Structures are given as structure tokens and as C-alpha cells.
């Protein structure tokens, strides 16, 4: 009798629609995504996705157009914007496959829906980790920008997306509960609880590692800057450049952790089979919070980086002038009229030459 029961439990259900898995997982909140509430959520999501597309395209275009951004750090920042743009695509796909539609999806369609979200999140996380390595290399060599070649940066970008796509495809490749429905989770009805636990724990561990690394780098830069300032010639802005750059990175990382950690914790609780934690009632709000991360990043770039903001204004003004049939003669010189701060990449080296005490640090 037990053998017969186990045989039934291990039967694969690839031919079933998602309503079969939702009913078994006792997921009751899917029916709540209907009527007026669903329309409000979809309208809000559509506005957010539109902003995500436009703002992150501006970031990518700014890095391409402005030669002052042609450094490894900004290439990786543009790749982070590409990950946020991809997240917008994932959210659009989700909006058309949520609510009552969720239960009518095939298994493969649901895997695609969730895989897009997992890929975008993994791409952002891997990108932040690579930026941490790039910042560490730069600071250790006492430079603002690392001397990574374009070939190496391109390889890192391809590696980031390869890892992200693989992580998004892991459940599709077999780590799921379709053939063992007793191990299915509640929030993701065809994901096994063991996979959810692994995925969330690994991501939270990377969060902690990056926070520690960035905090140490920030403290190192601040300490070195305080030592160098009395011995360094140049303007105050040049002295503050290392701190400004690190503040931008810290703000981006902080926003990522704040927006994604609650959702990670909820998924971890679901993976640990916490039936009394009420994860079904908060999942939608934490998903919207994760969506906000892709909105916040371009705002952080423009707020923390004055040159990025000037480039944004130039591109927007150029587009407006072209639509009106005018030649943007005055605006075309906006970026080129500002003096380059590329010499700040040698700021720490210059200080080292001016200060005999630094050579012993």
C-alpha cells in the first residue's frame, strides 16, 4: 500500500495546468488578483515599467555617448541598468500572466514567467558583486578607476548574464517538484522547497558578503582621503571624488538590499515550510517592493553623479529640440563644455608623490 502511494506521489505532472498545483498548495491569494484591485495593480505596474524602460535606457545611452564614462566602473553600471531594463520586461510579462490567468498557465509558461524574474534578480546581484571586485581592485591600486581592459569587462558582462540565465533556468532543468508534489512550496507551486531554501540562503549570503566588502572599502577610502587631503593639491571636488563614487555604489547596494531582502526572507520561510507565517498575504507587496528597486537605481545615478545628470538633461533636450525641428546648437556643447575630471583617476597617485609619509602607508 505504501509503495503504491509513493508511486502516485512520484508521478510527473507536466501535462497539468497550474490550477492543479495551486489547489494542492492551498494558494488562495491568486483569486484576490481580480476586479478593481487587479486593474489598479496593473496600471501602477505599467507606469513603473514605463519609467524603468525610459530611465535605464537613458543610463545606458549616457555611458555610450559620454566619453567620460568610458571606464570599467561605468560599463558595469550600464550593465546593471540593462539588468533593470530586463527586470522591466519580466514584470510586463508577469502582469499579463497573473491574477486569474495564473491558474490557466501551462507548466512551461509558468516556468518562463518565474524564470524571467529570477534571471533579472540574479543578473543584478552578480553585477553588484563584480562591481565590488572592480572597486576593490581600484582602491588597492590607489586609483579611482581600475585598469581592466575592455576585453575583460566584456567577458565579465557575458559571465554575469550566463550565470543569471543558468540560475533562472535551474528549476526548468529539473530542480522542481513536478514529479514529487509533496515537496512543492506554497508561493511557487512547482518549485521544490529545497530549491527555494538554497536560492534564498545563497542570495542572502551574497548580500551579507557584499555589505561587508563595500563597508570595508568605504572605510578604507575615507581613511585614506583624510590622510591625503592635507598633502594634496587641487580643488575640494577632486579630493571628494573617491568618496562620491563610493557613496553612489553604497546607495545602489543599499537600495537593492532593502528592496529584495523582505522577499528573500518570505521565500526562505516558505522553503522551510512555515505554515503559520502568513507568507501568502505579503508576497504581492514584497514583489512590488522589488519592482521599486529598478526604479530607484536611475534616480540614484542622476542624484549622486552630477555628470550623469548633466548628460541626461542634454539627451532629453536634444530629443525635444529635434521633435520641434530646431537644431540643439546650444545644448550640444553641454557635456563637452565641462572640463574633464579624468585626472582625478590619478588623485591618489599624485598625493603619494607629494607626501613622503604616504609612501610608508
Most confident of 257-271, 299-313, 347-361: 257-271
CA distance 253 to 249: 6
What is the predicted pLDDT for the residue at 240? 53
Phi/psi of residue 294, each to 5°? -70, -20
pLDDT class of 352 with cuts at 50, 70, 90: very low
CA angle 80/102/89 to nearest 5° reads: 20
CA distance 133 to 43: 39
Query: Tell me, what's the pLDDT at 3?
Result: 45
Task: Place 354 in a pLDDT band, splitting at 50, 70 and 90.
Answer: very low
Q: Is the pLDDT of residue 185 over 80?
A: yes
| Distance, CA of 124 to CA of 90 (rounded, Å) | 13
Place of cell 594634496: 232
Three-class SS of residue 14?
coil
Backbone angles phi, psi at 349, to 5 degrees: -65, -40
Contact 297, 237 (CB under 8 A): no
Q: All 3 cell numbers of residue 133?
A: 571586485
- Evaluated on CA atoms 119, 122, 124, 127, the torsion sign reads negative
pLDDT at 355 over 80: no
> Burial, 4: exposed, middle or buried (Cβ in 10 Å; 0-12, 13-18, 19+)?
exposed
Q: What is the pLDDT of residues 28-57, one digit of tens each?
A: 544 555 667 778 878 888 899 999 999 999
Cell digits of residue 143: 586609483
42 CB-side CA count, 13 A: 14
Burial class (CB in 10 A: 0-12, 13-18, 19+), 15: exposed
C-alpha cell at 163: 550565470
User: What CATH number matches the domain at 17-360, 3.40.50.300, 3.40.50.720, 3.90.550.10, 1.20.1070.10?
Assistant: 1.20.1070.10
Q: Closest by alpha carbon to 207, among 265, 156, 247?
A: 265
106 φ/ψ angles, rounded to the nearest 5 degrees: -80, 170
Residue 142 above 70 pLDDT?
no
Helix (H, G, I), strand (E, B) or coil at 142: coil
Strand partners, 106: 17
List Cβ<8 Å contacts ≥24 apart for 151-158: 153/72, 153/75, 153/76, 156/76, 156/130, 157/75, 157/76, 157/79
- Show me where the domains of the chain are located: 17-360
- CB 218, CB 225: distance < 8 Å: no
Instruction: Tell me the per-residue pLDDT of 212-248, one tens digit each, with 9 for 90 and over.
Output: 887 777 777 777 767 665 555 554 445 455 566 667 7
Residue 351's pLDDT band (boundaries 50, 70, 90)?
very low
| Rounded Cα gap, residues 226 and 31, in angstroms | 58
pLDDT value for 336 = 45
Name the grid cell of 191.
518549485
Contact 84, 301 (CB under 8 A): no
Amino acid at each position: 500500500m505504501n509503495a503504491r502511494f509513493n508511486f502516485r506521489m512520484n508521478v510527473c505532472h507536466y501535462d497539468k495546468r497550474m490550477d492543479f498545483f495551486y489547489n494542492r498548495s492551498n494558494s488562495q491569494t491568486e483569486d484576490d488578483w481580480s476586479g478593481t484591485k487587479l486593474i489598479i495593480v496593473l496600471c501602477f505596474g505599467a507606469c513603473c515599467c514605463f519609467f524603468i524602460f525610459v530611465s535605464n535606457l537613458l543610463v545606458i545611452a549616457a555611458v555610450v555617448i559620454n566619453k567620460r564614462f568610458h571606464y570599467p566602473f561605468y560599463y558595469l553600471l550600464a550593465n546593471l541598468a540593462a539588468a533593470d531594463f530586463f527586470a522591466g520586461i519580466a514584470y510586463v510579462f508577469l502582469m499579463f500572466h497573473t491574477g486569474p490567468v495564473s491558474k490557466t498557465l501551462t507548466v512551461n509558461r509558468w516556468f518562463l514567467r518565474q524564470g524571467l524574474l529570477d534571471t533579472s534578480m540574479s543578473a543584478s546581484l552578480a553585477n553588484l558583486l563584480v562591481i565590488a571586485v572592480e572597486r576593490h581592485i581600484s582602491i588597492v591600486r590607489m586609483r579611482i578607476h581600475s585598469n581592466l581592459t575592455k576585453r575583460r569587462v566584456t567577458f565579465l558582462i557575458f559571465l554575469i548574464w550566463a550565470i543569471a540565465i543558468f540560475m533562472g533556468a535551474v528549476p526548468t532543468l529539473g530542480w522542481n517538484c513536478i514529479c514529487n508534489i509533496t515537496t512543492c512550496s506554497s508561493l511557487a507551486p512547482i518549485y521544490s522547497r529545497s530549491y527555494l531554501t538554497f536560492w534564498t540562503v545563497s542570495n542572502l549570503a551574497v548580500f551579507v558578503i557584499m555589505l561587508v566588502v563595500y563597508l570595508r572599502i568605504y572605510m578604507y577610502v575615507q581613511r585614506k582621503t583624510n590622510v591625503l587631503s592635507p598633502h594634496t593639491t587641487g580643488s575640494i571636488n577632486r579630493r571628494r571624488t573617491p568618496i562620491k563614487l563610493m557613496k553612489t555604489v553604497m546607495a545602489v547596494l543599499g537600495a537593492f538590499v532593502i528592496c529584495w531582502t523582505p522577499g528573500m526572507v518570505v521565500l526562505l520561510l516558505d522553503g522551510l515550510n512555515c505554515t503559520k507565517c502568513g507568507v501568502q498575504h505579503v508576497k504581492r507587496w514584497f514583489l512590488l517592493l522589488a519592482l521599486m528597486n529598478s526604479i530607484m537605481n536611475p534616480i540614484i545615478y542622476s542624484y549622486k553623479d552630477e555628470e550623469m545628470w548633466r548628460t541626461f538633461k542634454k539627451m532629453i533636450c536634444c530629443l525635444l529640440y529635434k521633435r520641434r525641428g530646431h537644431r540643439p546648437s546650444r545644448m550640444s556643447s553641454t557635456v563637452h563644455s565641462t572640463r574633464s575630471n579624468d585626472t582625478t583617476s590619478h588623485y591618489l597617485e599624485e598625493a603619494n608623490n607629494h607626501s613622503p609619509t604616504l609612501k610608508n602607508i
